[in-house]
Every structure is written in structure tokens, then in C-alpha cells.
Amino acid sequence: MQIVMLVIALLTAVFAGWNILRLVSFKRAGALPAEELLTAYGLGIGAISLQMLLFYFLNVRYTILTITVPWIALFILNMRSNGTGVRDRLKDGENRPVIEKLLVLGISLEVAYAFFRALIKPIESYDAVAIYAIKAKIFYLAQSIPSDYFTRISALYPHPDYPLCIPLAETFIYTFLGSFNDQLVKMIFPLFFVGILGMLYFAVRRFASRAYALLFTFLLASIPQFNSYAANAYQDLPLAYYYFVSAIFLFRWMEDRSRSQYLVVSAVMAGLAGWTKNEGMMYCVVNTAVIFAFALLDTGGRSWKTVRSLAVYLSIIFVIMLPWTWIKKTSGIVNGEIELANLNPSNMLKQIYKIVPIFYEFQKQFFGPKKWNILFPAAAFIMILNYKKLFQGTGKYIFISLALSVAGYCVFYMISLVEINYFLSKTWSRFLIHFLPVLVYYLATLLKEDVKL
């Protein structure tokens, strides 16, 4: 029975996300049905967790009815609108069934292994239990966020400043299951893994053959560090999902600014990245900077339409982050690791010594085949060989996004209050996961004219 309720819960998340996409006329932008489904899952998980946070202000308890009724109401509203549109067509590629079948088999095995590892044991890693799952259990037992949670209870557990997207998503699953089940609740995470792989495949298929898209999808799926985080109930893979989907739709909007729905969905996903993990706010800044660069480089700063688009983008992120930001501000919750007040020239000069350990740890990951295969050296080699393509078309904005991601994490380390070597050893290999899908997508765009599949 619990498996049935799990399926119903996950379908409810997809239903919620699908209704939001329909509300913004996502179909009219030409998105493929599979892309809509993959986007709806992550969007629904994020939206329902935000809904449950809003219940804190409204003093509403968590039940299946209170969670689902607003989405049913939105569905009825959406039925009154015209959701028709012309779907994009994928580029036809040369049919090589043997290659495709082998790649599909490889991807399927990686995905199956991720689900297997998620199911064979309950949530057991320290961060997943002490930071996230314990909060989910508190919320489930109280059927709400207790009124004194932020002023008293949260201080009893590590990192009270961490956003509650994943803890509330786990509470959502517990609510449908009717009890704790720390194995079934982990299904959230391999589904984010599937979402990233699927979005990568369809993004590459828009300009290349099936075999080519499958090749890069398998490349990402088979990276040990990336795959391992599909089953450990950490927030890093969900954050990678939100940033990747946000970036993909942002780049797609840049290619055709008439499809404003892509910009809206990109902004929502960026906001959900901030709602998922503190580092997600950096990606809100990264995407905003990329749009600003687009306004300067492609429109010469003279396009009011782009300025309006930037304003809309920031407004959507602001609305999504407002409830959590308000709670932290009014409850006196602060980040114990990063102090933004240290982001000033004087302090940055004092912290310059951290550059050495930062790059030492980076090179360890860069040349670390045990976790990353040979992806990073291969990526550097490909970029050097294709240096003329790095700043062509939309590719230059992908490059800017990746460069800002790396630079942003370096700044985090510079202003961190945590001992630098300890902080690096615990986080660099996780931070790299966040922008890894965007890097693999970028490599696919660079090699599309050289690799014939």
C-alpha cells in the first residue's frame, strides 16, 4: 500500500508542476511533451515544498487534502485556458541502432543502479539525517512547521539557515505514506537524477542525432561522483537539477526571445535553486549576470525588452525567496559558515592566502578519475582545441555561466568563517556536481560539428 501511495505522491508533484507550466502557457513555447514531464517533476516538488512553507504563515496543517486541493483548483482554472501550441521537432539523425541500443543499455543500467542504491538502505549519511531528514520528521509529526520552530527548535540542529525545500519535500512524501519510510522517501533523489539526464538528452537532441545525445547522456550518467549523489539524500543533486534546467531554458530564450515562457520557467527554477540550498542563491546571481551580459553583448544595452526581461526575472526570484528570507530575518537565523559582510576589498586581501589551498584542492578534483573519470582534463583539452568556438553564439553565455560558477565558489571560500582546508575537503567535490550537467552540455555544443554519430 505504501508503494501505491508513493506513486500517488510523485504523480501529485508532477500534476502540480504541470499545472504551473500550463498556467504560463509553457506548451505554446514549443517544449516537447517529455521535456514538460521532466520539468514538471522538479517544479512540482519545489512548488509543493513552498506551499507547505506558506502553510506556516496560514496555520494550516499538512494533510493529503490540504496539499492537493490548491492544485486541483488550479487545474480547474487552467481548463478554461487554451493550452494548444506547436511542439518543436527534434533534429533527425542518422539511424545507428546498435550504437543507440548500447548507449540506452548503459544509461538504463546507471539509472537502475541509482534506484537500487536508494532502496537498499534508509537515509543514513550524516548530513542527510542530521540536517534534512530530522527536520522532515519534526514537520511530519507536528503536521506543520511548529510555531516555535524557527525561534527555538531549529537551533537544536545543525545549520538552521539551510532552506527547507528538501525537508518539506520529504514531509510531503511521509504525509502521503502515512508514516516514516526512509527508503521510499529517497525516491525523490534518483528521480532528480533521471530529470537531469532526460533534460540533457533532449537539449542535445535539438541540434544533434539520437546517438550523439545518448553519448553525452551516458557520459554524465556514468560519472561516479555524480551518480553516487543520486541515492544519498543530499541536496546537491536537486540543486544541480534546478540550476541545469534554469540554464537550459535561459539559453533557449536567448536563441528566441519570442518564447518568453522559457525565461519565466528559467527564473522559477533559479528561485527554486535558492530555495533548495544556500549555494543556489549564487546561481540566481549567475543567471542574472548572464542576462545582463546578453543585454550588453547582443543588444548593446539598447533593448528595453531585455531590460524588462531582467526585471521580470529578478521579480520572480524575489517572490519565491521572500517567505524564507522573511522567516530568517525575523527569527534571527544566520549563516554560520559564510559572512557576506566579509565581501569587501579589505577583507578579500586579507584572505588572499586561501587561493593556494583552493587551487590545490581543485587540481586534486580535476585530476581525480576515481570520482570524475577523465571528464575535467578532457573538457580542458576540448576547450583548448575549440577555442574559436568558446565565444560564438549562445556558447559564450554558457562559458560565462560556468566561469562565474567557479569564481563564485572561490569567493565563498574567501569569505568563509570555516577553516579553509577542512571546508575544501568537505565541499569542493560536491560543489562541482552543481554545474557538472551544464559543463557536459557545453562540451556537446562544442563537439557537435566534429563528432559524427
pLDDT in tens, 303-346: 677 788 889 999 999 999 999 999 999 998 887 777 776 777 88
Average pLDDT score over residue span 250-260: 91
- At 81 the pLDDT is 65
pLDDT score at 15: 97
Confidence (pLDDT) at 92: 58
Q: Bigger pLDDT: 14 or 343?
A: 14
Query: Residue-wise over 185-198: b if at least 16 C-beta within 10 A, else e?
Result: bbbbbbbbbbbbbb
pLDDT for position 432: 96
What does the pLDDT look like over 365-379, one tens digit per residue?
999 888 999 999 999
pLDDT reading at 300 higher than 60 = no
CB of 36 within 8 A of CB of 18?
A: yes
Closest by CA position to 161, among listed 358, 329, 408, 365: 329
The contacts found for 419-428 with CB under 8 angstroms, 24 or more apart, are: 420/354, 420/357, 420/358, 421/357, 423/337, 424/357, 424/358, 424/361, 425/361, 428/361, 428/362, 428/365
pLDDT band per the 50, 70, 90 thresholds, residue 97: confident
How far apart are alpha carbons 410 and 415 in whole angstroms?
Answer: 9
**Helix (H, G, I), strand (E, B), or coil: what is residue 169?**
helix
From residue 211, how far is each of 54, 98, 204, 294, 453 by CA, in Å? 45, 10, 10, 32, 6
Which region among 190-194, 263-267, 385-389, 395-399 has the lowest average model confidence (pLDDT)?
385-389
Average pLDDT over the chain reads: 91
Average pLDDT over residues 248-271: 94
DSSP conformation class of 338: B
| Length, in residues, of the chain | 453
pLDDT class for 76, splitting at 50, 70, 90?
A: very high
Q: Any idea what DSSP says for residue 80?
A: T
Reply yes or no on whether the pLDDT at 96 is more than 70.
no
Q: What is the pLDDT of residue 308?
A: 85
Assign 447 to helix, strand or coil: coil
d(CA 330, CA 333): 8
Question: Residue 86: its pLDDT value, please?
Answer: 61
What is the DSSP annotation of 283-316? HHHHHHHHHHHHHHHHHTT--HHHHHHHHHHHHH
Of 142, 135, 126, 182, whose CA–CA distance to 156 is shortest?
Answer: 135
Is residue 267 predicted with pLDDT exceeding 60?
yes
Neighbours of 378 (CB within 10 A): 13
Is 394 or 217 the better-scoring residue by pLDDT? 217
pLDDT score of 94 more than 60? no
3-state secondary structure of 416: strand
Considering the entire predicted model, what is its pTM? 0.95
